[in-house]
Structure 1
């Protein structure tokens, strides 16, 4: 029931009658008491840039900014790192452009993670309806949230810090990407990290003293049962961010003193006084500017209803993320020729931008009842608990919105037993009903009739959830422009479960069977664990727990976990699917790089936040090397 706190801010965004409840008002007042004394907003002087940074371009309605050496588009998990690291060279002038605004006091509360995916901090993208998938979602569209804020998705994600399996990066290298093997990238994971994991900090895979805090998150009493159950199933307890990867562990998370530690907190706020780093929020980039030779020389962006041109004497760097970086490339004439021609966009460079897209999907409908409450729900209404979080960074408010631990397993779909095909995500304080269906179910776009039929009866029943996440799908999707208007949202096609052999859905079924066995282990039976067996609407024709039933359920309540990659694939010029090379330069275009998770060439055994930061760290060093300052 801890996730009940997620409703706190919804009263500001949504006019729901339930928020007149005195309990919610009490909790909100508890936080508001401390908000002004502890939160420092992004300096307004950097947003009010008109007088000192721009001049009118003669005979034009556009405003020409003074020149910069580098322009970075997007302040997310890669862009914030790139801009910060490049500004370490004080002779370079850096302009960082972010479409969103800075976060607020409540975005720092870990327990509120899911809530902010229902606010303007989210671009609020969705998939297009496709046959046989997202059947339980409103409009048959799965949610694909993306952060629209200083710090990007690190402001709205679940703060989970996972790097991936070393074998993932060997695959990158074997595709022709020199410098991207595991020994090559490990130093860049360590470079950003400020390890607060205890004994794990000295095992050779972590570093103390970096900018980005990594620590263990909140754990309820039943988290230990999950880890012990994994051991009883034949696994072991591991540091999953080392080479000893396969096994079970509480989550390592980007939290600092009990608060979300976004990339803006780590890489931008400490350096906003650098005179060579200019950061503009609410600045929507609409195009990369290219000259007749195919060289990038700047960007066009809009802010407060005015159009600006910013020039880069050295490079333009797109770090706008897996969706917005390819969108900007295509709007600028870099993309599939046929698609651009259909929209009337002249093709500058014919590249397969947006044509390959991988995603991690997970089944969220597997709930288990237990006999006792593992964390008292009334704690969140206690002013002392709020005081504890504000002044000591401890307690229930440090929970990662209810998710607490993971397990990496191999169900048999991959021959290598040391390489996982599934990540198990353990939510120890409930399932979709833990916030009475107000936040998580809405964030995932789950139909109200499905929630009411399956999960509402659990609202007053102690329960936990284990979600199987498919790590290496064979199905892949794509994205394309909706029009040549930069404000029209792109079209996204997940193509879930489209692999001809049906391996993806069979692997998730195998994971469901594994979880069922896990729920019967001794550690879980101490809590009286038993499956919640209410059938999902639309699947009643199948016998509950038959393979056919689970295939139907998987097509109904499998959701995206927002780890999309690959839309600007990294690979050599000989790779017909590649958009950028191993130095992250766009093929055939000078002065333009893409540095974000869109360049990841193959599926990862990880949530993508930490790899995106690593890409930013390594990308910044590549730029410094190319310009002779490293």
Structure 2
């Protein structure tokens, strides 16, 4: 604190001081909990009222004890323009949700000064600390995330707290782009061509590519220029810092037949440095990219910390005409002259549809919700899951990002000044590789596994003296973690998370009750199709082959024989052991799709048509990743932004001649 107190306190210095305090809060075990209490040793230096307030302000249940939140000065703000004290009672468009797609929609629709747009978002604006890519794991359990859980499933997530799968989703202006790992991927051409071939006109690879390019402002060197944009709002870059293990990963991939290059180009399967939605080493959320610079447009009103509880639909004509919402504990209604656009994400969008009378008739009748339209809302759900537990020890020092070696005042100052420290990496992710295992569909060319190369592993997040942010963000049980990895905690390691790109297992989502503030029931049905577990095992065998190549052997890479309590009677490295391991550490990558499925009229699971209009309901669209008919070979942030871009053109085309 003396460093800050005795400074000249110019703006940049204030920023440095705040960042220093916040980083120390984040990266210190227990933050205000002393090490005497934790380990019976030295007393923590961070037990001060100011730091306690800072810690609470990032907490998941934080409610300030005073009328004004003192940390609003650290957050972005979205005041109503022109000094307005309250929103209008009517707008042309109402957008429910300021997530990745909703931010794009708001930006594009308000380009026309003759229309008015209201964006309603349940979460808060971003905070200073959310800009730091390296703390992505920590954000999974703060006020910026909806703490969703899957319903208990007896044979997955065995190593998680209470043996339940944790599904954090973004609750912020910017949605999940505020808490994600900022990885920019688009999907394989075959993904999109297959979607169009199923009857979704206008969704081929060539159709969606132009929208990816429109949004992108690529500042990366050496990528295939014709597939990237240079003038969009969404900056995409290689991070300013990566570990030496990134080059090892790429070199090993080349030995096994996978070239290094631009994995977002359509040609072939490649390994490459991770491309991120960051700007000069700081997170660039959808809100910062698409809303921050235009928030003073007089025709754009944004209401953070406001909860929509119902879409208002005229029963005779089945026409959406507005929404009901809660703001500052007051219930209000607002009308839409043109359209209501639901962009609340793959969990909240289907929930709100069902609460508004749009969903499976039998399910709504069970909850005594008057039926507006019988549609299979929530009846299909796919998710990308990964296995983070395959860890390799190294006999060479200075290779991996180890939190205890990096969270010192020198690195903090370096990050604030230049953003070129490990804090600028997206949760220590260095590289991405796409592969086809022997189990991939022989009639397809798209990958079935994505490899996420980490400049470290689960054990790199500080051990006893660190934040434990990664393991806590995934909700891994301490007992399971210590049993499996305690012997290598806080050491030099490398890992690659295999991500199952095209799961055959299908889940679903339904209402728990009619309370709009309750979370829905989420049934993931992870790994219920045996081909999914077999594909994971094939991916693990590939990663083992990677580490047997000369680049990894130079570093002394050796697999760590993790001992999971549930797998204690199984032979290490056998197929049954790895299936048990995957079922122990079953981690979502927050890519849920298909709960408001897009499809032609003959698709029995379709909720919206190829123009994202809800079947049977006028002037209502769903515009977010929930419309994807099935999983694609991509993290869903970039596709959600693309969906927002494409939807804005479709909406404009609908109304331009009216």
**TM-score if structure 2 supplies the norm length?**
0.88
C-alpha displacement of 1:438: 2.2
Indicate the residue corresponding to 1:514 in structure 2: 542
Indicate the residue corresponding to 1:385 in structure 2: 411
Q: Quick check: 1:45 aligned with 2:79?
A: yes
- State the SS of the aligned residue for 2:118: strand
Which of 564, 567, 588 is matched with 1:539 structurally?
A: 567
C-alpha displacement of 1:44: 5.7
Indicate the residue corresponding to 1:212 in structure 2: 234
C-alpha displacement of 1:123: 0.4
Q: 1:49 to 1:321 in 2, by over 3 A?
A: farther
Indicate the residue corresponding to 2:437 in structure 1: 411
C-alpha displacement of 1:131: 2.5
Q: Quick check: 1:361 aligned with 2:361?
A: no
Q: 1:256 to 1:335 in 2, by over 3 A?
A: same
What per-residue deviation string (whole Å, max 9, x for no partner) do you get for residues 9-57 of structure 1?
Answer: 37799753349645999xx99x99xxx999873336339998443xxxx
Indicate the residue corresponding to 1:133 in structure 2: 156
C-alpha displacement of 1:430: 2.7
Which of 460, 468, 471 is matched with 1:438 structurally?
A: 468
C-alpha displacement of 1:84: 1.0
Which of 298, 318, 323 is matched with 2:347 structurally?
A: 323
Contact 1:362–1:558 under 8 Å retained in 2: yes
Q: Which residues in structure 2 correspond to 1:468-487 (within 5 Å)? A: 468-487=498-517
C-alpha displacement of 1:244: 1.8
Q: 1:460 to 1:597 in 2, by over 3 A?
A: closer
Distance (whole Å) between structure 2 residues aligned to residue 629 and residue 220 of structure 1: 54
Indicate the residue corresponding to 1:57 in structure 2: none
Q: Which residues in structure 2 correspond to 1:142-541 (within 5 Å)? A: 142-200=165-223, 203-217=225-239, 218-292=241-315, 293-373=317-397, 374-375=399-400, 377=402, 380-413=406-439, 414-416=441-443, 418-436=445-463, 438-499=468-529, 502-541=530-569
Indicate the residue corresponding to 2:18 in structure 1: none
- State the SS of the aligned residue for 2:430: strand
Q: 1:287 to 1:11 in 2, by over 3 A?
A: farther
Contact 2:306–2:326 under 8 Å retained in 1: yes
Distance (whole Å) between structure 2 residues aligned to residue 12 and residue 328 of structure 1: 39
Q: 1:47 to 1:432 in 2, by over 3 A?
A: farther
C-alpha displacement of 1:432: 3.9
Q: Quick check: 1:9 aligned with 2:26?
A: yes
Distance (whole Å) between structure 2 residues aligned to residue 354 and residue 211 of structure 1: 32
Contact 1:433–1:456 under 8 Å retained in 2: no
Q: 1:72 to 1:405 in 2, by over 3 A?
A: same
Distance (whole Å) between structure 1 residues aligned to residue 71 and residue 410 of structure 2: 17
What per-residue deviation string (whole Å, max 9, x for no partner) do you get for residues 335-376 of structure 1?
Answer: 000110101101110000000000011111110000123157
Contact 2:32–2:47 under 8 Å retained in 1: no
Contact 2:238–2:274 under 8 Å retained in 1: yes
C-alpha displacement of 1:225: 0.3
Deviates more, 1:386-395 or 1:241-250: 386-395
Contact 1:193–1:208 under 8 Å retained in 2: yes
Indicate the residue corresponding to 1:570 in structure 2: 598
Contact 2:25–2:31 under 8 Å retained in 1: no
- State the SS of the aligned residue for 2:169: coil
C-alpha displacement of 1:379: 5.6
- State the SS of the aligned residue for 1:287: strand
C-alpha displacement of 1:419: 1.5
C-alpha displacement of 1:603: 1.4
- State the SS of the aligned residue for 1:296: strand
Contact 1:6–1:111 under 8 Å retained in 2: no
- State the SS of the aligned residue for 1:124: strand
Indicate the residue corresponding to 2:5 in structure 1: none
Distance (whole Å) between structure 2 residues aligned to residue 328 and residue 10 of structure 1: 37
Contact 2:401–2:455 under 8 Å retained in 1: no
Aligned length, in residue pairs:
606
Q: 1:344 to 1:432 in 2, by over 3 A?
A: farther
Contact 2:33–2:44 under 8 Å retained in 1: no
Contact 1:159–1:254 under 8 Å retained in 2: yes
Q: Which residues in structure 2 correspond to 1:540-555 (within 5 Å)? A: 540-555=568-583
Distance (whole Å) between structure 1 residues aligned to residue 641 and residue 97 of structure 2: 13
Indicate the residue corresponding to 1:90 in structure 2: 113
C-alpha displacement of 1:433: 4.6
Q: 1:419 to 1:610 in 2, by over 3 A?
A: same
Indicate the residue corresponding to 1:59 in structure 2: none
Distance (whole Å) between structure 1 residues aligned to residue 29 and residue 322 of structure 2: 39
The runs of 5 or more residues in structure 2 that have no matched partner are 1-21, 56-69
Distance (whole Å) between structure 2 residues aligned to residue 382 and residue 274 of structure 1: 42
- State the SS of the aligned residue for 1:489: coil
What per-residue deviation string (whole Å, max 9, x for no partner) do you get for residues 391-425 of structure 1?
Answer: 32222211111111111000022214731110111
The runs of 5 or more residues in structure 1 that have no matched partner are 54-64
Q: 1:12 to 1:156 in 2, by over 3 A?
A: farther
Q: 1:253 to 1:538 in 2, by over 3 A?
A: same
Contact 1:359–1:564 under 8 Å retained in 2: yes
What per-residue deviation string (whole Å, max 9, x for no partner) do you get for residues 208-265 of structure 1?
Answer: 1110000012310111001101111111112111112412111000010110000010
